[in-house]
């Protein structure tokens, strides 16, 4: 088969054609297009399985995120995938996982992404004996995260699911924000969203309250949770059940564990970010100008402890 032909009914890069509704009467054998050679399994999410694939023509490697249409029959799941594609395909930034293409056959939707062979910051932290990062490492990664958020917020996009597991690490151990499944693009800057979404430990109180809608400040809140989790090794509102976690978030109940020695500057920044009233949280620029970030050179240099961890070259 010629490269570029897929042997299955497909649409290619045209969002109108991602109908994502399985028509069993025309169901055919399907699979990855033949020009791509499937490689190792990279991971699994709520809907997707992800594999490393090589384009046999260009020899380039990609991450193929494969979503089974059978798993997204509910309108909400369907809308989530359509929105993820519509938002992610328009993004081009060094700190955002690159979106290359998407297509579908009768059974699956395939999203071709930049491959991030060093997994996410979640796995990176878990491999550490103390399960946390040094403050220099946290500054290094949060600087990149802020650059990504500045880009997204300028485009009126709220990520709404920022967490360590969505902060991918490329082949050079640099951060790339991924998974736009819950992202929202606002019509105008003062617009608000009402859908309850996010990951329990990282969700902002105004999303849980749901009364007045939410906006870009929910990403700032999650950034505060990320900074806390990086330096203390566990999320600030974590408990064994989701209800109690939500209660703690709503009541702004968290402590700085005394057993972990961290700087006054990072505690001060976390306190300023984790404020119940979204309007009192600092802006991204305020965070970059905080005394914590000022303890480092800008841009922060990659700590040796990070550079020694990158995946071995192929
Ligand atoms: P879902 O939308 O179903 O939650 P995710 O986007 O979380 O799926 O992807 C599932 C898993 O696949 C991730 O947890 C990660 O392990 C892996 N993965 C996703 N995108 C990439 C990528 N670009 N590079 C490497 N691995 C990836």
Q: Residue 57 above 80 pLDDT?
A: yes
Residue 12 pLDDT exceeds 80: no
- Residue with CA closest to ligand 1 atom 25: 116
Q: What is residue 226's predicted lDDT score, i.e. its pLDDT?
A: 98
Using the predicted structure, report yes or no on whether residue 212 has a pLDDT greater than 90.
no
| Ordered DSSP codes for 158-200 | E----SGGGEEE-TTS-EEE---TT-EE-SSTT--B----S-G
Question: Lowest-pLDDT range, 105-114, 134-143, 148-157, 266-275?
Answer: 105-114
Cβ neighbours for 56, distance < 8 A, ≥ 6 positions apart: 3, 35, 36, 37
pLDDT at 150 over 80: yes
Q: How far is CA 204 from CA 196, 199, 224, 270, in A?
A: 10, 10, 10, 14
Specify the pLDDT at position 8: 36
pLDDT at 47: 86
What 8-state DSSP symbol labels residue 302?
Answer: P
Q: For residues 43 and 105, which has the higher predicted lDDT (pLDDT)?
A: 43
Please say whether the beta carbons of 146 and 284 come within 8 A. Answer: yes
Structure-token pair, residue 244: 């109690």
Is residue 234 classed as helix, strand or coil in its secondary structure? coil
**Ligand 1 centroid from CA 65, angstroms:** 7
| Sign of the alpha-carbon torsion through 249, 245, 229, 167 | negative
Least confident segment among 47-51, 105-109, 138-142, 168-172: 105-109
Q: Is 104 helix (H, G, I), strand (E, B) or coil?
A: strand
Quote the Cα angle for 114-119-125, to 5°.
Answer: 145
Catalytic residue list contains 191:
no
Whole-angstrom Cα Rg for the chain: 20
Q: Which of 258, 290, 250 is nearest to 274 (CA)?
A: 250
Confidence of residue 178 (pLDDT cuts 50, 70, 90): very high
For residue 39 and ligand 1, the question of a CB distance below 6 A is answered with no
Is this prediction's ipTM beyond 0.85? yes
Q: Is 308's pLDDT higher than 50? A: yes
Rounded mean pLDDT, 147-161: 97
Q: 187 pLDDT band (50/70/90 cuts)?
A: confident
Q: With bands split at pLDDT 50, 70 and 90, how would you rate the model's confidence at 290?
A: very high
Output the six-digit token pair for 285: 């620029």
Q: Which atom of ligand 1 is nearest to the CA of 115?
A: 24
Selecting among 161, 170, 179, 219, the annotated active-site residue is: 161
Tens digits of residue pLDDT in 60-111:
999 999 999 998 888 888 888 999 999 999 999 999 999 999 988 888 999 9
- Is any atom of ligand 1 closer than 6 Å to the C-beta of 53? no
Poorest-pLDDT segment among 58-62, 78-82, 204-208, 234-238: 78-82
- Distance from C-alpha of 184 to C-alpha of 26, rounded to nearest angstrom: 33
pLDDT band at 6 (very low <50, low <70, confident <90, very high): very low
| 115 in contact with ligand 1, CB cutoff 6 A | yes
Indicate the SS3 state at residue 1: coil
Confidence of residue 19 (pLDDT cuts 50, 70, 90): low
**For residue 130, pLDDT beyond 50:** yes
- The yes-or-no verdict on residue 177 having pLDDT over 90 is yes
């Amino acid at each position: 088969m010629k490269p570029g032909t897929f042997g299955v009914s497909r649409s290619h890069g045209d969002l109108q054609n991602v109908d994502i509704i399985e028509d069993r009467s025309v169901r055919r054998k399907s699979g990855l297009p033949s020009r791509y050679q499937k490689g190792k399994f990279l991971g699994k999410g709520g809907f997707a399985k992800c594999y490393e694939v090589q384009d046999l023509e260009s020899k380039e490697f990609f991450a193929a995120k494969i979503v089974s249409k059978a798993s997204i029959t509910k309108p909400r799941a369907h809308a989530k995938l359509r929105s993820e594609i519509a938002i992610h395909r328009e993004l081009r930034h060094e700190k955002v996982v690159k979106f290359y293409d998407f297509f579908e056959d009768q059974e699956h939707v395939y999203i071709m992404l930049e491959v991030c062979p060093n997994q996410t910051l979640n796995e990176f932290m878990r491999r550490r004996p103390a399960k946390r990062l040094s403050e220099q490492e946290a500054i290094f990664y949060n600087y990149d995260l802020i650059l990504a958020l500045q880009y997204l917020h300028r485009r009126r996009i709220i990520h709404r699911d920022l967490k360590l597991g969505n902060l991918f690490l490329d082949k050079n151990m640099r951060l790339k924000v991924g998974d736009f499944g819950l992202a929202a693009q606002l019509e105008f800057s003062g617009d608000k969203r009402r859908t309850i979404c996010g990951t329990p430990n990282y969700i902002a109180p105004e999303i849980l309250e749901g009364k007045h809608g939410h906006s870009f400040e929910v990403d700032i809140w999650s950034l505060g949770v990320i900074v806390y989790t990086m330096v203390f090794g566990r999320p600030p509102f974590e408990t064994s059940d989701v209800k109690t976690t939500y209660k703690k978030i709503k009541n702004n109940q968290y402590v700085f564990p005394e057993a972990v020695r961290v700087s006054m500057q990072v505690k001060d920044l976390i306190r300023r970010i984790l404020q119940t009233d979204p309007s009192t949280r600092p802006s991204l620029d305020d965070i970059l100008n905080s005394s914590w970030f000022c303890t480092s050179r800008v841009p922060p240099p990659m700590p040796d402890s990070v550079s020694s961890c990158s995946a071995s070259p192929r």
